[in-house]
């Protein structure tokens, strides 16, 4: 899932659909990048020598003052014999570190040096230790975190009220980063191998929900309760999220491919009945997704939907839901075909991210199409499961109306910058074309399931996904991926009819582009290249030379 603009009125809905999606925050386009961008977006010398094993977080929000106080313990393993004298910890201004503990002992008390901060980065010297040894650093911090301006797209901490004027709090931080509310190694490539623990202090009248399973609920005898949640699986920084509100819950079991999956739902008390009716889609969706992509990736941590004041986000094992218990995308169909109004977009899309984004995570956010494009295609798969293949084809084709081709889908590496918002709906069409070219749904399904098995709980580069598809399909998609992921050009199929011959070729494409396409009638394949090729022209082809609409190309008769 990073991106978009706020919907201001019905007047601009059509425009908004070109740029809105349900998750992630697309930062404002930058023509130049700063040293801060490099520190945040790359694995520099103060990051490369340590591997995060576990996060233990504790946060206490102060609703009245819009502030938080907390502590983060990072357990890590040293991965090199020789390494920097400093460790880079990310914590965004105006939050401040108060004290630091190294291996449980007080190490530095603010404002004593020698550690120093550089914008949103804190450089902390630590004692040298042996390769493969395990250590911990605990950071005590406080302050007024950045307040989300338009969550989830422009994120931060969210202090709001429900319809009955009671406090309702959470965080949305994809894109802007988890360091907007807690100190961490804020880079997608390093997920804690052994999961995370999140403790949340909340008023006794409220409920605090986190990722994974409830480990402990403890009264503090001061009007507050600490709720501690635990995640066993590796989890991305931006997925670890507290939810605080007047929640009620119910539970159901889903009999899945790996046995019983715990499904829990947390909604505001006055929304309970609406939620119970709307969330009946979950079991149907899980069955569809497990068929196509393999077992739900986090049986150990369960599946949750948690109502939020913002639209939604793919928080692992605690999916944020804010679609107002409506079908479609806040009641609308992004595809314009009608098929998207028959199901709840946020439940389907954000849950699809459990496979692509949470199970398989891109190392660099430049490759976020791996999250958003493939997850966008889970919508198409769900439509097929419910309404058939023709409906699924129509849904994907309808999404093209929102494609802008303003920038390549893959962004610049190492500077914490995504590519174009086209990673969603153009990404959907890319996966759909891969499926057409493979022309074998049994094999296509094996590839989707194989990706989730091969890269189970792992981080990847786009090239890892591309090469896996090439290897398992037996088809060279290298120029195809270069064309659609790394340029904004839509390949044009030029053709001309000359007597009893039809000549055709690719233009507006990368060198060597050779994607095959299917003719509508009769159903047969063309294999164009950038040089002219010919086929015999039947009377039917002369009269009606049509390319299968499942291919996102332009066709030009000369």
* pTM score of the predicted model: 0.93
Average pLDDT value for residue range 215-230: 98
> Does pLDDT of 268 surpass 60?
yes
Q: What is the CATH number of the domain that holds 551?
A: 2.60.40
H/E element, 287: helix 281-293
Average pLDDT value for residue range 176-181: 97
Average pLDDT value for residue range 187-211: 98
Number of domains in the chain: 1
Q: Tell whether 497 is covered by a domain.
A: yes
Residue-wise pLDDT tens digits, 238-249? 999 999 999 999
Eight-state DSSP code of residue 462: H
Q: Tell whether 429 is covered by a domain.
A: no
How many CB atoms within 10 Å of residue 346? 24
Q: Which two tokens stand for residue 278?
A: 């709307």
CA distance 56 to 193: 13
Q: Tell whether 134 is covered by a domain.
A: no
Q: Tell whether 337 is covered by a domain.
A: no
Dihedrals φ, ψ of 493, to 5°? -95, 105
Domain that holds residue 545: 492-557
Q: Indicate if the alpha-carbon torsion angle 266, 270, 271, 277 is positive or negative.
A: positive
Residue-wise pLDDT tens digits, 309-358? 999 999 999 999 999 999 999 999 999 999 999 999 999 999 999 999 99
Identify the band that residue 538 occupies on the pLDDT scale cut at 50, 70 and 90.
confident
Specify burial of residue 287 (Cβ count, 10 A radius: 0-12, 13-18, 19+): middle
Q: Tell whether 199 is covered by a domain.
A: no
Q: Which residues contact 134 (CB under 8 A, 6 or more apart)?
A: 53, 75, 76, 77, 78
Residue-wise pLDDT tens digits, 505-523? 999 999 999 999 999 877 8
pLDDT of residue 113: 62
pLDDT of residue 112: 58
Question: Taking every pair of C-alpha atoms in the chain, what is the biggest distance, in angstroms?
Answer: 90
CA distance 338 to 360: 31
The CA-based angle 358-361-362, given to 5 degrees, is 155
Identify the band that residue 108 occupies on the pLDDT scale cut at 50, 70 and 90.
confident
Q: Tell whether 529 is covered by a domain.
A: yes
Average pLDDT value for residue range 134-152: 97
Dihedrals φ, ψ of 109, to 5°? -110, 130
Residue-wise pLDDT tens digits, 69-106? 999 999 999 999 999 999 999 999 999 999 999 999 99
Residue-wise pLDDT tens digits, 372-398? 999 999 999 999 999 999 999 999 999
> Does pLDDT of 437 surpass 60?
yes
Q: Tell whether 251 is covered by a domain.
A: no
Q: Tell whether 511 is covered by a domain.
A: yes
């Amino acid at each position: 899932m990073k991106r978009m603009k706020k919907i201001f009125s019905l007047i601009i809905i059509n425009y908004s659909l070109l740029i809105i999606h349900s998750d992630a925050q697309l930062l404002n386009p930058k023509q130049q990048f700063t040293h801060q961008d490099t520190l945040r977006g790359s694995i520099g010398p103060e990051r490369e020598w340590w591997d995060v094993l576990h996060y233990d977080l504790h946060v206490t929000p102060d609703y009245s003052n819009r502030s938080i106080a907390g502590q983060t313990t990072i357990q890590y393993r040293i991965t090199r014999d020789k390494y920097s004298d400093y460790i880079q910890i990310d914590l965004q201004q105006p939050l401040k570190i108060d004290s630091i503990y190294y291996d449980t002992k007080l190490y530095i008390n603010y404002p004593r040096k020698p550690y120093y901060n550089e914008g949103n980065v804190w450089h902390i010297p630590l004692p040298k230790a042996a390769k493969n040894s395990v250590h911990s650093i605990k950071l005590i911090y406080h302050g007024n975190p950045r307040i989300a301006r338009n969550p989830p797209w422009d994120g931060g901490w969210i202090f709001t009220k429900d319809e009955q004027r009671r406090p309702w709090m959470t965080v949305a931080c994809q894109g802007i980063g988890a360091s907007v509310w807690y100190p961490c190694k804020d880079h997608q490539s390093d997920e804690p191998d052994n999961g995370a623990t999140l403790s949340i202090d909340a008023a006794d009248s409220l409920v605090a929900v986190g990722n994974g399973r409830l480990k402990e609920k403890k009264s503090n005898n001061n009007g507050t309760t600490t709720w501690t949640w635990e995640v066993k699986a590796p989890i991305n920084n931006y997925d670890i999220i507290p939810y605080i509100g007047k929640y009620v819950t119910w539970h159901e079991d889903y009999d899945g491919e790996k046995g019983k999956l715990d499904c829990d739902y947390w909604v505001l008390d006055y929304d309970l009945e609406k939620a119970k009716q709307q969330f009946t889609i979950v079991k149907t969706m899980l069955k569809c997704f497990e068929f196509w992509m393999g077992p739900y990736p986090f049986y150990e941590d369960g599946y949750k939907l948690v109502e939020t004041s913002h639209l939604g986000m793919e928080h692992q094992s605690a999916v944020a839901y804010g679609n107002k218990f409506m079908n479609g995308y806040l009641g609308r169909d992004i595809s314009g075909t009608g098929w998207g109004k028959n199901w709840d977009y946020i439940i389907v899309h954000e849950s699809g991210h459990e496979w692509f984004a949470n199970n398989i995570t891109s190392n660099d956010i430049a490759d976020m199409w791996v999250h958003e494009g493939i997850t966008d295609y889970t919508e198409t798969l769900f439509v097929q499961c419910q309404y058939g293949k023709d409906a699924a084809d129509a849904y994907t084709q309808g999404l093209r109306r929102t494609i802008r081709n303003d920038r390549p889908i893959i962004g610049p590496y190492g500077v914490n910058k995504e590519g174009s918002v086209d990673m969603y709906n153009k990404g959907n069409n890319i996966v759909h074309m891969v499926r057409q070219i493979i022309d074998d749904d049994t094999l296509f399904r094996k590839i989707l399931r194989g990706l989730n098995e091969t890269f189970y709980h792992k981080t990847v580069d786009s090239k890892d996904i591309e090469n896996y598809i090439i290897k398992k399909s037996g088809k060279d998609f290298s120029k195809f991926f270069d064309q659609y992921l790394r340029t904004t050009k839509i390949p044009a199929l030029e053709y001309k009819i000359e007597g009893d011959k039809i000549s055709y070729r690719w233009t507006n494409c990368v060198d060597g582009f050779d994607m095959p396409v299917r003719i509508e009638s009769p159903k047969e394949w063309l294999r164009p290249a950038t040089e002219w090729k010919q086929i015999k022209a039947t009377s039917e082809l002369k009269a009606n030379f049509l390319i299968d609409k499942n291919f996102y190309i332009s066709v030009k008769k000369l």
